[in-house]
Amino acid sequence: MELHPERNLVRTRLYGQITTAHTAQAIVDLEGVLSQFRPGFTILTDLSGLESMELDCAPHFSRIMDLCRDHGVGQVIRIIPDPTKDIGLNILSIIHYGTGVQVITCQTQAEGEKALK
């Protein structure tokens, strides 16, 4: 996780094989840093290196989304080059973010960076 409080931006990258231990730790890490960000902050998540994810990670992703929503996330940008690796994030976004958060899905890093501007 890269933190850019001055830009109100959190960057995350998922790569390799993601386990429930990884996602459980991500919750702890996120809880420790969210106070650095103002409402309306942006999360850019790069899934281009993701190989696989354990099914039991879904509740952790739900918790992460709820934490971000409760802290006032305004925009989520996802880089997902392979749509088959969406891992259900689009559906979870509808449930946990509702209509108040802008969610953008890009295929490349360049598209993701452009969406930040």
* Cα 15 to Cα 67: distance, rounded to the nearest angstrom: 22
Round to whole Å and give the CA distance between 96 and 35. Answer: 20
69 SS3 class: helix
Q: Which residues pair with 2 in a beta bridge?
A: 11
CB 93 within 8 A of CB 100: no
Q: What domains, with CATH codes, occur in the chain?
A: 2-116 (3.30.750.24)
The number of beta carbons lying within 10 Å of the beta carbon of residue 17 is 11
pTM of the model: 0.90
Per-residue pLDDT of the chain (117 residues; tens, 9 = 90+): 999 999 999 999 999 999 999 999 999 999 999 999 999 999 999 999 998 889 899 899 999 999 999 999 999 999 999 887 777 788 888 889 988 899 999 999 999 999 997
Pairing relation of β-strands 75-79 and 2-4?
A: unpaired
